[in-house]
Chains A and B, each alone.
Chain A
Amino acid sequence: MALAQQSSPHARNARSTSQVMLWVILAALPGLLALTLFFGWGNLINVVWCIAVALAAEAAILKLRKRPVAFFLRDNTAAVTGLLLGLSLPQFAPWWVSAVAVIAAIVMAKQLYGGLGSNPFNPAMVGYALVLISFPVAMTTNWAQPGLLWESAPGFGDTLGMIASGQQTAVDAFTMATPLDEYKHKITTHTAAEVLAHPTFGDGVARGWEWVNAAFLVGGLVLVGLKIITWHIPVSMLAGLSLMSLAFGSNADLYAPLAMHLLAGGTMLGAFFIATDPVSAASSHQGKLIYGAGIGILIYLIRTWGAYPDAVAFSVLLMNFAVPFIDHYTPPRTYGHHKPRRGIPGKGQG
């Protein structure tokens, strides 16, 4: 038998891209569980629907692009995109809103740019931003009111019915403005105490959301522990957001307090699962710190002075633009060199 001829190294780590993605999916499950417990079946249904659409869209476009379908579907990246959208979209978002978001993410943001590894923008956030701008009503009025799954939320059948009906707005009785939205719009005319009396805030920071964020934080820490992501982007993003809040928004009667920024809305999901998408993020440690901090600062700016109550999608996309630039100017200092070689060869120091 002929001996195998291979280039070194001969030993290889067993963890593949599909396993990495599988870990991301598993690490997001606590968050999905928390969402389901506090906001009903909506997210779970969305996640399943979005993953299904994502896989179908990926398969179709791979076929059109004459790429091996099974080989690429097995990398689980389309499933992660679907999952992230299912977790981010409003609980009662009509099925076609989700489908548009997912198809935009997979077909436009990912495959048309060359598929896995070639997309400059976070696909899930492209899809999210598209539907947020295109269908503002569906994207703002379909948030479930917080309440334990077995108490007040609509049952599985009702939720499925609302999503499948395709109505722009769900049954009013089940929905409620999100805490960030509520605070942003009421604080201009009310005091903090008056605003916080609204049931969306509950007894803690933001009813339900605090648990959802805590669950995503735990899942994210697992990913850091498994070395699937590094701490740089989440920490710098949370730090950027916190510093902005402390510097400009310490007056709760004018601006949402820091705790709300961290624990209401999509902050932890964004910090650990969305901003850390490796394909569209900066690559060096220093670059990741700048990238993450930029997202944190932009989130605060848009949430506080922009038109949208939450801003993870826009902030991530804006920083995606800056990634090539950041990468050029933040290479690490190589062993044995006095300083890093920044920039592009021939421009600046060679």
Chain B
Amino acid sequence: MTQLWDFSGGIHPAENKHQSTSRPITGAGLPEVLVLPLQQHIGEPAEACVAVGDRVLKGQKIADVTGGMGVPVHAPTSGTIESVSLQPVPHPSGMSDWCITLKPDGKDEWAPLNPVTNYRDLDRETVLERIRDAGISGMGGAGFPTNIKLRPPRDRKVNTLILNGAECEPYITADDMSMRENAGEIIAGLRIMAWVLRPERVVIGIEDNKPEAISALRKAAEGTQTEIAVIPTKYPSGGEKQLIQILTGMEVPSGGIPADIGVMCQNVGTAIAVSAAIHRGEPLISRVTTVTGDAVTDPGNFEVLIGTSIDYLLAQAGPEQNKLHRLVLGGPMMGYTLETPAIPVVKTTNCVIAATATELPDPAPEQPCIRCSMCAEACPMELLPQQLFWYSKSGELDKVEHLNLFDCIECGACSYVCPSSIPLVQYYRAAKGEIRVQQAEQLKADRARERFEARQARLEREQQEKEQRRKERAKAAAEAQAKKQAEAEKAEAEGQPADDRAAKATLVQEALARKKAKAQQQAETKAGASETSASSEPTPDIDALEKQLAQATAKLNTMQSMLEDARAENADNVEKLERAVTKNHDRVKRAEEALAEARQSVAATDTQPTDS
């Protein structure tokens, strides 16, 4: 007998499972059209790898994930690709997403399959790759790619592999019926997963309200190491964290994954899909879905092709449209209502409840919380639902987080027991959403601040570097100055003029002389260049030129005397004046040259006629 532990809280809602277990699983048939969402798993959406108008075969890959996490999508039957378009998909928000529409041709013609005769001869990576290529993601609810789950981090050895056959939520019997009718395949799939993971313990957890399934599994597991653990019926025993607690006594750390404590849970449907993928080479193209509720006359379980519309599925169970009040996808505790039945069954669709108004009545108006703590008694995570409710309602999000809101698994037990019919889970979802938005905004703000601070730091650094360079330059200049002064002193000692100003003045004079020489050179080349053109010009006015020269010379003299004064006073504008003097020097020079030229040309003109 397997040792079992209990989890705190939990409830015993009316099971309502017998309605859908009275008849065996039947095929739902081939609908007119199949709509296959490109994202039926957690991760990146798949991309269509077929074109509109292509004929595809049953089991042919029609979309795949090329970069990042995800699994491919396969054609559930042979037919023609009609479109790749946005269509409503199963989601609480009723949103649309990209889907491939497949028009079946009725031939149901398989693509060539590639089964493995003995997977033990392959290496584990190859088996995992095959599981991925078969498009298998967790069929229990979240849809996490199975191949990735089966490859836990290297430092997380899985000691216990759990197959979750608890199926604790009312109404749903898909796993129950699969276990009854398909126990051999479940064990086969479980053995493949066990071979991949090499755990010490393989255990199937199953609630004691499924005696037929228990005996079928016991029979199928004979001769294997697999334990069949029959656990007490209590919602939510099938919650991953709760089932782990029941079977191992351990708790998954908050924010962690089961592999952190050496445990992994897999779903019954996933085990069947893995077995089909390896032993028969068949990809995941159908699943077992429960159709139940008082608004169908013939409730039961169906083997449904992925992509079949809920509408079509309901039609197989004898819907009574006039009685249908609420259409729930999933169970009555955690499922969500649909606005329209025109959405497709996907890999995670385990149940459709067509409920009447008496069966799942509209909730009574919310009354004030009387702090009865029945919610806390029911909470399987040992949270304080009423405190979470107050703080969610009053928007005190720091307190909500402090009270571990994010450990809430949204099982609905608190809302179920609340005598004041407060939709507690709804408050928590809203608070979680608000916190996520705030965190995203905070992240954005943090990044912006980081960017700003980085920029500030860079500007400051640049400023400092600039300052540093300036200082270095100044230092070098001072050193040079000191050196020159030392030379000057030396020179003075040798009897030359030598106070600071005089030294400077000599330096300036030298520089001026250099510049003058340079300017002269330039002017000469210029004059040389202009010589040829000057000859064709009209005779220059020698008087005007003489006047110009006189003006320029006068100006130069004034400038020079100003410069002398400035130097004497050591004024700021010395440099400026020096430039001005140089400029004027050039001007005088040019004027002189121009005059000389003019005189020459006049002389030439005068002599020319005699020459000719």
Binding site for B on A (CB under 8 A): 1, 3-13, 15-17, 19-20, 71, 75, 77, 115-118, 227-228, 230, 278-279, 281, 283-284, 327, 331-337, 341, 344-346, 350
Contacts and interface: CB of A to CB of B under 8 A. Distances in A.
Contact of A116 (B13, B370, B403): B370
A283 B376 contact: yes
Interface in B349-382: 353, 355, 357, 360, 362-365, 367-374, 376-377, 380-382
Given A8-B333, A117-B369, A284-B384, A336 B402 contact: no
A15 B12 CA distance: 13
A230 B371 contact: no
Given A3-B326, A75-B367, A13 B417 contact: yes
Nearest to A118: B368
A5 B339 contact: yes
A335 B398 contact: no
Question: Looking at B252, B321, B415, which has the most chain A CB atoms within 10 Å of its CB?
Answer: B415
Contact of B371 (A12, A278, A334): A278
Interface string B545-588: 00000000000000000000000000000000000000000000
Contacts of A116: 367-368, 370
A335 B251 contact: yes
Given A4-B325, A336-B253, A10 B333 contact: yes
Contacts of A335: 7-8, 241, 245, 251-252, 254, 380-382, 407
Contacts of B360: 6, 10-11
Interface of B: 7-8, 11, 13-14, 170, 241, 245, 251-256, 321-322, 324-328, 330, 332-340, 353, 355, 357, 360, 362-365, 367-374, 376-377, 380-384, 386-387, 398-399, 401-404, 407, 410, 412-413, 415-421, 423, 425-426, 429
The 3 closest A-B pairs by CB, nearest first: A9-B412, A117-B368, A345-B402
Given A15-B419, A117-B371, A283-B384, A7 B429 contact: yes
Contact of A336 (B251, B338, B373, B416): B251
B415 A12 contact: yes
Contact of B376 (A228, A281, A332, A336): A332
Contacts of B337: 3-6, 10
Nearest to A116: B368
A278 B373 contact: yes
B415 A9 contact: yes
Nearest to A288: B373
Nearest to B375: A283
Contact of A281 (B371, B380, B410, B421): B371
A6 B403 contact: no
19 contacts: A3-B338, A9-B332, A10-B332, A10-B355, A11-B14, A11-B333, A12-B421, A13-B418, A15-B417, A17-B367, A17-B372, A230-B373, A278-B371, A281-B371, A283-B386, A332-B382, A334-B407, A335-B245, A335-B407
Contacts of A331: 384, 387, 403
Contacts of B353: 10
A19 B373 CA distance: 16
B362 A9 contact: no
A60 B502 CA distance: 109
Nearest to A350: B402
Contacts of B373: 230, 278, 283-284
Given A115-B368, A227-B377, A284-B376, A11 B170 contact: yes
A10 B402 contact: no
Contact of A279 (B253, B355, B371, B403): B371
Nearest to A2: B339
B326 to A, nearest CB: 4
Contact of B254 (A71, A230, A283, A336): A336
B496 to A, nearest CB: 80
A335 B413 CA distance: 15
Given A9-B425, A117-B369, A341-B404, 12 more contacts: A1-B321, A3-B338, A8-B415, A10-B333, A10-B360, A11-B13, A11-B360, A12-B363, A13-B417, A16-B421, A116-B368, A337-B407
A264 to B, nearest CB: 30
A346 B415 CA distance: 29
Contacts of A10: 326, 328, 332-333, 335, 337, 353, 355, 360
Contacts of A350: 402
A345 B396 CA distance: 10
Nearest to B383: A334
Question: Looking at A7, A77, A281, A335, which has the most chain B CB atoms within 10 Å of its CB?
Answer: A335
A15 B416 CA distance: 10
A335 B7 CA distance: 9
A116 B366 CA distance: 13
A3 B356 CA distance: 10
